[in-house]
Structure 1
Amino acid sequence: MLEGLHYQNAYVCDDLEAGIDLFRGRGLTKEPTIIPVDQRVITPHGLRRQKGRVCFIWIGDLQYELIESEIDEVGLYAHCRSNGGPLRFHHICFRVPDWGALRRRAGEQEFPVAMERDLADEAEDSLRFLYLDARAVFGHYIEYTWMPEPMWQHIRAM
């Protein structure tokens, strides 16, 4: 299942500031904002906590997400194999136009849903995402997101 707009490659790092430093002189033109994240996500084993810090670096039309995990009750980031460097490739992300249709198809394809977050019950225009565990075929996770256009424009401006 590969669909939507591929806009992001994501990396796990132990030191977010050191990860950001690696982009200096390699296309980074705007200092990224570091965002603390502390959220509950739905997994096949119930609600789990994910806590850490992230930042987004845009170079052209591709966003690089850097993730420093602090609490990983899902184990999603712990699965990221070391490549000997400070950045470990973790997932690609696609933006999709129809969340309901994507969510139905996700349940009908071969890759298991590793975690998801959908706060539509709280705010209909909230960001929604899910991760498929595609490591057996692609060697990484695949994330899908849905967000309203104003949120997309805000993310593009970060």
Structure 2
Amino acid sequence: MFARKNAHHHQVAYVTNDITRAIALFEKNYASPGFFLFNNVATGAAKPGDPELRIALSHVNGVEIELIEPVGDTAPLFSDGLLQGLELEIRFHHIAIRIDGPIENWEAHVASINTAHHPIVYQGSLGEDLRYIYTDERSCVGHYVEHVWMSARVLEQIAAARPSFPPRG
């Protein structure tokens, strides 16, 4: 799963019940260079029933840090790990593997996944520029794995928007 051509570790992601406070905690306790916040992101094709999420991104020493706050009860994949009633909760959720290169690399990567051993529990796209799937690896390694492909245009937009350490320059 991890050792694939054109694939590399891209991200560590956490779910939270309060993204504003989680951002402040990461900035204070872990010296994050800040976060770019996407409010009320509807994943997938933004059709009825898609989960709504607030997402914050930071980039530290080559790895993206993602904070995810599920909105309401629309996103059980992201909210099921959160307990109810805690003032602030942050839980590890997944790592992401990014597939580089043309869309054909993405298609080859997805075709290489043995879904009997690595079941796909969620998938989507954003137009022609982004594809993703989540495989459920909880029984083996305790978390989900996101597999993602982004066009060069989207990679550039995200890199320009999210704070980074060391700073781009």
TM-score by length of 2: 0.76
Post-superposition offset of 1:78: 2.7
SS of 1:99's partner is helix
Which structure 1 residue ranges, 5 or more long, are not aligned?
A: 42-46
Confirm whether residue 39 of structure 1 aligns to residue 43 of structure 2.
yes
| Whole-angstrom CA distance in 2 between matches of 1:77 and 1:150 | 27
Aligned pair partner of 1:14 in 10, 13, 17: 17
Aligned to 1:62: 63
Distance 1:28 1:134 in 2: 28
| 1:105 alignment partner AA | S
**Number of aligned positions between the proteins:** 147
- Determine which structure has the larger strand proportion and give its number: 1
Deviation of the 1:66 alpha carbon = 0.3
RMSD: 2.2
Percent identity (aligned):
29
* 1:9 CA drift (Å): 0.4
* TM-score using structure 1 length: 0.81
Q: What's the secondary structure of 2:121's corresponding residue?
A: strand
Q: Runs in 1 of length 4+ with deviation above 3 angstroms?
A: 71-74
Q: Give the letter aligned to residue 78 of structure 1.
A: S
Matched with 2:94 is 91
User: Residue by residue, what CA displacement relative to the aligned partner does 1:120-144 show, whole Å, maximum 9, x if unpaired?
Assistant: xxx43x1111100110001000001
Match of 2:119 among 92, 112, 120: 112
